[in-house]
Amino acid sequence: MDSIGVKIVVIGGGTGSFTLLSELKNYTHNLTALVNMVDDGGSTGVLRDELGVLPAGDVRQCLVALSTTPKVRDLFNYRFDDGGMKGHAFGNLFMAALEKMTGSFAEAVETASEVLSVKGRVEPITLDNTKLVVRLDDGTVVNGQHMVGSLKIPAGQRPWLDLEPEAHINPRARQAIIDADLVVIAPGLLYGSLAPALLVRGVTRALNESKAKKVYVCNLVTKPGQNDGYRVSDFAEEIERFSGTTLDYVLYNNHRPSDDLIERYAQDGEYLVEWDEAELERKHYRASGKRLIADRAWVNTNASSDPLAAQRSLIRHDADKVARELMRIYFS
C-alpha cells in the first residue's frame, strides 16, 4: 500500500491533537480527526448557551490544523477584542452561523472544511448535545468540561466519568474507525479531552470491530491534582478503561529535558511522566520509548502580551517526530 493512502484516525481534541494533526497530514492524504464534543467553556460555552449550538472550539482547531490556506486559517483563530463579539474566535462564529442556518453541525463542519481547504477530514465524535460529568468516590460531582480543569482528584483515586445525556457515535466517525489502518489516541487531557471522546456510546464497539493498529501517544507531563504520579502505564491503563479496548502500541517519550525546565514545571505542580520500563515490558501492548520532546518550543504569542513568552522554552512534543514514529509503527 502506498504510504500516503494509509487510513489514519486520530481521536482527541485539545492542543496535543492539533499539533499532531498538523504534522500527520504530511504523511497521508487519508487522515480523519475525531473530536470530543464536551467543550462548554469560553467562547464555545457562550455560543452553546446563547445560540443553542454544538461546541465548535475543538473542531475548529482541528480544521485549522488540517487547513492548507494560511490566511483563512489565521482568520478562523482570530478573536474579536471588542464589541458584542468580544472574546469569540471568528471560526466559532462561522460554525455557529452555519449550524443555525442549516440546522446541521455536520454540514457546518463540511462547509468550514471547504473554505479552509482542509487536507483530510474532521468529524465530531458525536452529534448529540452532551456534557461531561465527573464523579469522585467521596460523592463529589463535577458538571461540565470547563469545571473539570480545576478538579482535584485525591491521590490513588480514579474518577468515574459519564456523558449526560448519553451521547451516540456519529456514524461517519464510526465508519472512519472501522475502516482505519491506524487509530491514534492523541496526547491530551486524560479526563477533560480523551475520556469524553472515548466514552461516547459506540466508540468501544467500533474500535473492537476495526482491524486498525491502536496506538496511544502518552502525555509528556502530568496535570496537577489529576495525574500526579501517573507513569506511562497508568495513562495507558486509563485509556483502556475508557475505550473498552486493548491497545496495540503505546508511544512515549524517554528523554529528560534540562533540570532548569523540569524545575520550572515543578513550580506549577507539573511533572514529567515517568516511563516505568519494567512494568511496560510485561504489558500486552508494545511500548515504544523515544526522544519525542522538541528541542525548542515556543508558545503561541498570539494570545500573549508577555514579550518574553515568545522565547520561553516548553516541554512539548516534536509533532513531526511523533508523526514519523506513528508511520514507523504502522509499517512495523
CB of 167 to a second copy, least distance (A): 24
CB of 63 to a second copy, least distance (A): 14
The one-letter amino acid at 37: M
Decide whether 75 or 262 has the Cβ nearer to a second copy. Answer: 75
Decide whether 62 or 108 has the Cβ nearer to a second copy. Answer: 108
SS3 7: coil
Angle formed by the axes of helices 105-115 and 57-66, nearest 10°? 30
CB of 306 to a second copy, least distance (A): 21
DSSP string, 218-283: --SBPPTTTSTT-BHHHHHHHHHHHH-S--SEEEEE-----HHHHHHHHHTT--BPB--HHHHHTS
Gap between the Cα atoms of 17 and 13, Å rounded: 6
Decide whether 76 or 242 has the Cβ nearer to a second copy. Answer: 76
C-alpha cell recorded at residue 34: 475525531
Decide whether 113 or 126 has the Cβ nearer to a second copy. Answer: 113
How many angstroms separate the most distant Cα atoms in the chain?
Answer: 58
CB of 61 to a second copy, least distance (A): 16
Element (H, E) at 322: helix 319-331
CB of 26 to a second copy, least distance (A): 24
The residues binding a second copy (CB under 8 A) are 46-47, 50-51, 71-72, 74-75, 78, 80-86, 88, 90, 93-94, 96-98, 100-101, 111, 115
Decide whether 30 or 111 has the Cβ nearer to a second copy. Answer: 111
CB of 143 to a second copy, least distance (A): 22
CA distances from 45 to 58, 147, 269, 318 (A): 12, 12, 27, 31
Decide whether 115 or 314 has the Cβ nearer to a second copy. Answer: 115
Decide whether 140 or 304 has the Cβ nearer to a second copy. Answer: 304
CB of 98 to a second copy, least distance (A): 6
Gap between the Cα atoms of 288 and 307, Å rounded: 38
Least Cα distance to 10 among 162, 217, 243 occurs for 217
CA-atom Rg of the chain in angstroms: 19
